[in-house]
């Protein structure tokens, strides 16, 4: 039971873990530096050309880091993006439902109350 309640929190911290501190979006081809930090490959290489330091902890990276794609992290990012897209889709659907409801209310207010006149005819 406690596990279910904790799921949203762990998902939120997961988003932090999957966010590149250079471009502030989820990793695109994540790579790990020698100091253990993760960045998009393109982001890290672009920064490294200028400073030769880890953008996160400022550890000097004097030689061009031998970057290996972090396949595990990459798979996690993919899964995370998929699940967050699903959430957005359901939000959009809920918004549409709300709009439909508003339309129905507007329609009835515009039209004369047919049911009332029908009832009068029957009487």
d(CA 79, CA 87): 13
Could you tell me the smallest distance in angstroms from the CB atom of residue 70 to Zn ion?
Answer: 13
Binding-site residue total for Zn ion (CB under 5 A)?
A: 11
Q: Is the Cβ of residue 35 or residue 96 nearer to Zn ion in the bound state?
A: 35
Of these, 40, 61, 70, 77, which contacts Zn ion (CB under 5 A)?
40
d(CA 22, CA 39): 7
What single DSSP character describes residue 111?
Answer: S
Interaction between residue 31 and Zn ion (CB under 5 A): no
3-state SS assignment for residue 54: coil
Could you tell me the smallest distance in angstroms from the CB atom of residue 98 to Zn ion?
Answer: 35
């Amino acid at each position: 039971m406690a596990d279910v309640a904790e799921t949203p929190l762990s998902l939120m911290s997961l988003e932090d873990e999957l966010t590149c501190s250079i471009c502030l979006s989820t990793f695109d081809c994540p790579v790990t530096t020698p100091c253990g930090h993760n960045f998009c490959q393109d982001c890290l290489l672009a920064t490294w050309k200028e400073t030769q330091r880890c953008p996160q902890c400022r550890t000097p990276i004097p030689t061009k880091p031998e970057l290996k794609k972090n396949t595990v992290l990459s798979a996690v990012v993919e899964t995370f993006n998929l699940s967050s897209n699903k959430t957005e889709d359901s939000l959009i659907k809920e918004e549409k439902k709300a709009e439909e409801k508003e339309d129905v209310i507007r329609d009835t207010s515009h039209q004369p109350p047919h049911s009332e006149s029908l009832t009068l005819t029957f009487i």
